[in-house]
Amino acid sequence: MKKKVCVSTLGCPKNIVDSEKLIATLNYEYEITDNPNQTDYLVINTCGFLQSSVDENEDYVQQAIKLKKLGKIEKIFVVGCLVSRFSKELTKKFPEIDGFFGTDFLDKLPKKIKQNHNELYGERKLLTPSHYAYLKISDGCEHNCAFCAIPAIKGKFNSISIEKLVEEAKYLAKLGVKELILIAQDTTSYGIDFYQQQKLNELLLELSKIEQFKWIRLMYTYPRKFPENILETINLTDNIVKYIDMPIQHINTGILKKMGRGMNKENTINLLNNIRKSVPNIAIRTTFIVGFPGETEKEFAELRDFVEEFQFDRMGVFEYSAEIGTPAYKYGDTVAKDVKAQRLEELMLLQQKIALNKNRKLIGKEMTVLIDEVADNHSIGRTQSDAPDIDQQVIIKSKNLIQGKFYKTKIVDAREYDLIGKALK
Ligand code: SF4
């Protein structure tokens, strides 16, 4: 009888990719189950980015230990970012755990549980719907943003070669993937380690040759040294979507300096305007942090006015979280919790208005929609301006559509963060 293994994935799409590789590897000798309440081995792939995720992940581990004590789980392995960040503390706190592995668990865990097949490059058991998949192009980060724990967790920048990524992409295309989403901590710097120069444009050009991919999407770009040659590539290719995800974090030059972002207000705005000028109708997604230590009402107002003026297509906002081990930790957490919450709400309410205005302008337009889900009386999809899970959706009042298929769709109504569509064909 094959032993059962369940891999629970907490955290970001980069963790999803790692879990998919682990599952594909373990699948050779174990029965894979997605039920963590009834399994022989449970692997918990963790996130340790923010204190809030640390708390959430530790709760999950606690729940698993309870199941083990009830005899529902034989062994528990905790892997990934939380372990890389707090392995000593975790080992003390959770003696019931059978093994802790940091972010290099893909090499080490299979060997621990007597696995003959070590990691077989490129194989993945998709955890996403089979029509889209993430491609992790590098790991680690060489920036040192003052608020961020990731460099301490993931270490130095580590690109995967173009050859290996094309091999993995072709494998995903064979699985039926139509939307390929490029991820990393920082996709802008792709290649600086492996090729001693930025190679994101070359990678995009190679991936765009794989015709099965109708949409290739670029996430997690970093503004400094943004490779503007990719803008022409987006214009010249049919399958690289007009979409850029670029966390900006703030706009006030003093705050950007304290954050260690290597950008100021002027060059940030110049870059964003150039992206918009170079690629007509491109959708720009960004994220901001409010309540960074010392952020005054005036500096926040500057950010709010910038958001109002620039009108991002997609936007997320986070409250500053004082993280042990990060450069900014020494500043203390000086902005009161309720002030942070109020600033976050103010920005999100402003963005809601912006999003509704932009959506209303799409009524009557025809757009290509990729169906992610077909429910009882409606289907849910996305336009090329929407990444899975974080951006908007298109709701189509039809249940006869097919998941993973593209439909020409007429937009008939608009809400803040959703469009209502009618599938044409
Ligand atoms: S770019 Fe900055 S925020 Fe992003 S992972 Fe690197 S250090 Fe963290």
Q: 330: exposed, middle or buried (C-beta count within 10 Å: 0-12, 13-18, 19+)?
A: exposed
pLDDT level of residue 215 (50, 70, 90 thresholds): very high
Q: Return the pLDDT at 358.
A: 98
Q: What confidence tens digit (pLDDT) does each residue in 335-362 have?
A: 999 999 999 999 999 999 999 999 999 9
Stretch 16-32: mean pLDDT: 94
Query: Rounded CA gap, 12 and 136, in Å?
Result: 11
Judge whether 263 lies within some domain.
no
Do 292 and 229 share a structural domain?
A: no
Do 106 and 24 share a structural domain?
A: yes
Tell me, using a 6 A CB cutoff, whether residue 313 lines ligand 1: no
Judge whether 123 lies within some domain.
no
**Close Cβ partners of 37 (under 8 Å, ≥ 6 residues apart):** 67, 72
For residue 402, report the distance from its CA to the centre of ligand 1, in Å: 38
Strand partners, 374: 379
Tell me, using a 6 A CB cutoff, whether residue 246 lines ligand 1: no
Do 41 and 82 share a structural domain?
A: yes
Judge whether 251 lies within some domain.
no
Tell me, using a 6 A CB cutoff, whether residue 40 lines ligand 1: no
Which amino acid makes up residue 256? L
Q: 174: exposed, middle or buried (C-beta count within 10 Å: 0-12, 13-18, 19+)?
A: exposed
Q: Which atom of ligand 1 is found nearest the CA of 148? A: 8
Do 370 and 340 share a structural domain?
A: no
Judge whether 190 lies within some domain.
yes
Do 10 and 36 share a structural domain?
A: yes
Stretch 382-403: mean pLDDT: 94
Do 134 and 100 share a structural domain?
A: no
- Domain end point (choices 80, 112, 144): 112
- Domain end point (choices 227, 245, 263): 245
Q: Which atom of ligand 1 is found nearest the CA of 249? A: 3
Cα atoms found within 13 Å of the Cα of residue 312, Cβ hemisphere only: 28
Judge whether 397 lies within some domain.
yes
Q: What's the predicted TM-score (pTM) here?
A: 0.96
Q: Residue 397 belongs to a domain with what CATH number?
A: 2.40.50.140
- Domain end point (choices 320, 338, 360): 360
Q: 156: exposed, middle or buried (C-beta count within 10 Å: 0-12, 13-18, 19+)?
A: exposed
Q: Is residue 161 pLDDT above 80, yes or no?
A: yes
Do 411 and 385 share a structural domain?
A: yes
Query: Rounded CA gap, 257 and 58, in Å?
Result: 34
Do 160 and 93 share a structural domain?
A: no
Judge whether 74 lies within some domain.
yes
Q: Residue 63 belongs to a domain with what CATH number?
A: 3.40.50.12160
Do 379 and 326 share a structural domain?
A: no
Which residue has the CA at smallest separation from atom 2 of ligand 1? 145
Q: Residue 132 belongs to a domain with what CATH number?
A: 3.30.750.210
Stretch 372-389: mean pLDDT: 96
Nearest Cα residue to 272 out of 289, 247, 237: 247
Q: How many residues does the chain have?
A: 425
Tell me, using a 6 A CB cutoff, whether residue 185 lines ligand 1: yes
Q: Which atom of ligand 1 is found nearest the CA of 151? A: 7
Strand-strand pairing, 379-382 and 406-414: unpaired
Q: Is residue 379 pLDDT above 70, yes or no?
A: yes
Query: Rounded CA gap, 146 and 292, in Å?
Result: 10
Q: Residue 347 belongs to a domain with what CATH number?
A: 3.30.750.200
Q: What confidence tens digit (pLDDT) does each residue in 104-128 have?
A: 999 889 888 865 655 555 789 999 9
Do 355 and 389 share a structural domain?
A: no
pLDDT level of residue 65 (50, 70, 90 thresholds): very high
Do 108 and 133 share a structural domain?
A: no
Do 370 and 353 share a structural domain?
A: no
Which residue has the CA at smallest separation from atom 5 of ligand 1? 185
Quote the mean pLDDT of the chain: 96
Cβ count within 10 A of residue 173: 17
Q: Is residue 1 pLDDT above 90, yes or no?
A: no
Ligand 1 mutation pick, 47, 150, 318, max ligand atoms within 8 A of CB: 150
Judge whether 254 lies within some domain.
no
Judge whether 250 lies within some domain.
no
Tell me, using a 6 A CB cutoff, whether residue 143 lines ligand 1: yes
Q: Return the pLDDT at 115.
A: 59
Structural domain boundaries enclosing 328: 274-360
Q: For the chain, what is the domain count?
A: 4
